[in-house]
Structure 1
Amino acid sequence: MDTEDQQRLTSIRSITLEVDDPDAAARFYDEAFELGDRLRLRRSDAPTSGFRGFTMSLIVAQPADVLHLFDAAVAAGATVLKPAEKSLWGFGGIVQAPDGTIWQMASESKKDTGPATHRIENVVLLLGADDVSASKRIYADRGLTVAKSIGGYVDFAMGDSPIGLGLYKRRSLAKTVGVAADGTGSHRVEINGDAAAFVDPDGFAWAPAPE
């Protein structure tokens, strides 16, 4: 593989969350979401405070599935940031896991078509960017194709990637999930892709996915 191929980014294989207590975090995620090898945990005591600049989204088929995941997360110890309810774009709710990661659960549908399930259709990482246009160029230069770009929001076409990727203005992202935009220290996340390690303009670290 030549250097250009090593730099070309096409997929996110997993997300590594850096947490204070990996055992406690593993219990929470096993009870709440059951994400399998798409989520990895690693112990870290890196200083962090306030908004960490990213969110994770779980996209499901119907409101009943949102409520199922939402209730499971709360029962496992998550804090409610926004209750699960209808909105202009569908149905969703937002929680913060005990390790500090913010999770959005959402469905474009406003009506149920069957019994509630635990099935997650898509997992999406949304990165808060100070300069969305600059970050978009960085990711496009590394091989990603922009699927949608509206105002301060960018959605990348990730093909068969286990995890999707989007960019959003940092302050807008914080407002969306109901927290203050201020934050300092570590993002407490590593993005495991199929390209060589790099750090984006907002300090988000990428590393080759573990074999």
Structure 2
Amino acid sequence: MNTTDAITITSIDSITLDAADPEAAAQFYADAFGLISQVRVRASDAPTSGFRGFTMSLVVPQPANVRALFDSAVAAGATVLKPVEKSLWGLGGVVQAPDGAIWNLATSAKKDTGPATREFDHIVVLLGAEDVSASKRFYTGRGLAVAKSFGSYVDFATPSSPIGLGLYKRRALAKSAGVAPEGTGSHRIRINSDGGSFTDPDGFAWGTSSE
């Protein structure tokens, strides 16, 4: 299907992650982040190794929530890739779930405004692209508007969606996650939206929640 004939994407409603032990993975996401409907898990033994080419982010309203979610994830079995630390843009930490997915827990807020909770503002899936410009054109051809774009980073506008989408140069994304950029095999992720089933230029699969 050409992008000119593509179904317009207006909302990303969930993410499906592949895992060898889907029950354990689902339990991890419930225990660590309180995620039940937004992140789904299905059984898969598709070969995969190294960096899978994407990261997931929980964007939270204050630093205390970053620490609460980080500690909760580690307690539930996540591996620390980057400890919680301050940066020019705010505060964040990176963990890897037992199923292999990488999660960035972050806030741009400098100060706490209330007690720590595991509440978050939104979820963002960031896809590693070999050619960011080509992938950007692919997605704008499917109706997504660009909210921000600079250098090797693109953030799409998804105002009606519970899950945001961005692109980042694959090597830069791996570096930001604290892992080597090399990886082969399945991405082990499907993005569920109202835009139909397709595969993007970097091999990321899209589908519908009913699939």
TM-score band w.r.t. shorter chain = over 0.9
Q: Deviations over 1:88-131 (max 9, x none)?
A: 11001000000000000000012111100111101000000000
The equivalent residue for 2:197 is 197
SS at match of 2:93: strand
1:207 alignment counterpart: 207
Cα distance in 2 between the residues matched to 1:41 and 1:5 = 30
- Counterpart secondary structure, 2:65: helix
Q: How does 1:107-122 map to 2 (within 5 A)?
A: 107-122=107-122
Partner of 1:101: 101
Paired residue type of 1:86: K
Alignment of 1:46 with 2:46, yes or no, is: yes
Letter in 1 for 2:110: K
CA distance in 2, matches of 1:84, 1:141: 37
In structure 2, distance between residues paired with 1:164 and 1:147: 11
Question: Is residue 151 of structure 2 the alignment partner of residue 151 of structure 1?
Answer: yes
Deviation for aligned residue 1:209: 2.2
Which residue of the partner structure matches residue 70 of structure 1? 70
Deviation track 1:113-165 (CA, whole Å, cap 9, x = no partner) reads: 11001111010000000000000000000000000000000000001201000
Query: What TM-score do the two structures reach when normalised by structure 1?
Result: 0.96
Whole-Å Cα distance in 2 between the matches of residues 201 and 58 of structure 1? 25
Shift of 1:15: 0.2
Instruction: Supply the AA of the counterpart residue of 1:47.
Output: P
Runs of 4+ more than 4 Å apart? none
* Counterpart residue identity of residue 125, structure 1: V
1:106 is paired with a residue of what secondary structure? strand
> What is the letter of the counterpart of residue 59 of structure 1?
V
TM-score (norm 2): 0.96
Q: SS at the partner of 1:65?
A: helix
Give the stretch that moved more between structures: 184-193 or 110-119: 110-119
- Residue number in structure 1 paired with 2:61: 61
Residue identity in the other structure for 1:199: T
Partner residue, 1:22: 22
In the alignment, the residues of structure 1 paired with residue 167 and residue 45 of structure 2 have an alpha-carbon distance, to the nearest angstrom, of 27
Whole-angstrom distance in 2 between the partners of 1:182 and 1:86: 27
Contact 2:10 2:160 in 1 (8 A): no
Q: Following the alignment from structure 1 to structure 2, what is the Cα–Cα distance between the partners of residues 26 and 39?
A: 8
Aligned residue type for 1:7? I
Count of aligned residue pairs for this structure pair: 209
Equivalence for 2:176: 176
Cα-Cα RMSD: 1.4
Pairwise CA distance, 1:57:
0.3
CA distance in structure 2 between the aligned counterparts of 1:93 and 1:42, rounded to whole angstroms = 26
Partners of 1:109 and 1:188 lie apart in 2 by 32
State the percentage of identical aligned residues: 67
Residue 88 of structure 1 aligns to which amino acid in structure 2?
L
| CA–CA distance in structure 1, aligned partners of residues 184 and 84 of structure 2 | 29
